[in-house]
Structure 1
């Protein structure tokens, strides 16, 4: 792994370990587990603490098949009410709104996070932004019913966005989510009012869920390039 990639991976681990250490305590029983590369470190740290401190975690709720595999491989119990959830993000703004869905799991991630009492973002410093849509330029991921993707893309254009149907990298055709839907990435440029955009997108028939997570996070942990962790 190149040195730059090593530094990013170290930053992800720093953020994950700090978040799990500060937000999981002896009273925590159920933990939501998101998807993506940063969460791998959160699961590993949680497993360490369960083993070393005999934490009484009764269940972990996965947001994707990847998260379920991580939980099982770590020897953590699967599944019910969620005390605290940890997940990464593609971009986080100054109000802790975030864009998620780069990995196409945002519907299941939002289900877990919505049903958690507390949600903390764990990410590296590249994901920290003042306004959504500035650092992350791939657009807002939308999970869309396959038969509706063409009219959905037309409505996105009416809202001022530029939609792209996400295509698979290692097979022909579009990306298909765990739920059997397509992913449309809609670029709106800088997003000053993410909650309003989220509501407008959800009103389009055929849009199952958006990658805008507004007003859901209780805090964020960013692993910094200098080895520290920025908490917001």
Structure 2
């Protein structure tokens, strides 16, 4: 196992051990690090006979829950969640996140918003002082297909940088989210933005469904480090 994969694994296991208790409703995030969190959750269910119910944030998360034989639910049945454990593309010093590299930002944010706490798990490459410091693929913005061009133009005109439509890799045309929308990726933005205000401003553009800026949502982050330790970060 590579050092990055080891870092993901130790962060995921520590978060599950520290934040999941018997009787919890657990939001299960998306991405490569979540695989290790679900594996650890399955281990604890078997070893400790835990009774936990899992609410997925994506098709991938749903399949992970089922393949690990955990209890699957949804927000219709469990609209209040005890803790959501999810990854991030980048985490800044204020615990602001960029999410959505895998295209699941809308469902991830909905589930996180229904949770008493959101815990982030990641490897050391996702830990930055400012957004954009290490993650260069941009801030994802989920949009209605009808409005993607004017939305792109408005963001570039007001905030600079470059906004592009995310294209699929193994099919012709753009990426289509689980919700039937397009994703724009905003790159080359200023790292000194007032992110809470920028986030609110972009969300108010007609046709924007959600942004990959998770502001004031996460309560704690665990970063697996290259030396085998786990760095913990909480909101100030």
Give the TM-score normalised by structure 2.
0.93
CA distance in 2, matches of 1:193, 1:96: 14
Q: What's the offset of the Cα at 1:191? A: 4.3
Which of these residues, 64, 86, 92, is aligned with residue 70 of structure 1? 64
Q: Does 1:38 align with 2:33?
A: yes
Describe how 1:38-117 pairs up with structure 2 within 5 A. 38-57=33-52, 59-79=53-73, 80=78, 81-117=80-116
| Root mean square deviation of aligned Cα | 1.0
| Counterpart for residue 147 of structure 2 | 148
Cα distance in 1 for partners of 2:204, 2:186 equals 15
Unaligned runs of 5+ in 2: none
2-structure distance, mates of 1:174, 1:96: 30
What's the CA shift string for 1:129-173, capped at 9, x where partnerless?
Answer: 011121112111000101111111111111223101100011111
Q: Could you tell me how far apart the structure 1 residues matched to 2:167 and 2:195 are?
A: 25
Alpha-carbon distance in 1 for matches of 2:211, 2:137 = 14
Q: Which residue matches 1:184?
A: 184
> Is 2:228 aligned against 1:227?
yes
Mapped to 2, the partners of 1:67 and 1:78 lie a distance apart of 10
Q: Does 1:20 pair with 2:1?
A: no
Rounded Cα–Cα distance in structure 1 between residues aligned with 2:132 and 2:202 = 16
Structure 1 residue runs of 5 or longer lacking an equivalent are none
- Partner in structure 2 of residue 175 of structure 1: 175
Q: 1-side partners of 2:99 and 2:42: how far apart?
A: 25
Aligned residues: 226
1:162 lines up with 2:143 in the alignment: no
Q: How much does 1:226 deviate?
A: 0.5
3-state DSSP of counterpart to 2:71: coil
Q: Is the 8 A contact 1:107 1:143 kept in 2?
A: yes
**CA deviation string 1:190-227 (max 9, x = no partner):** 14321111011101111100000000111000000011
Q: Distance in 1 between matches of 2:46 and 2:126?
A: 31
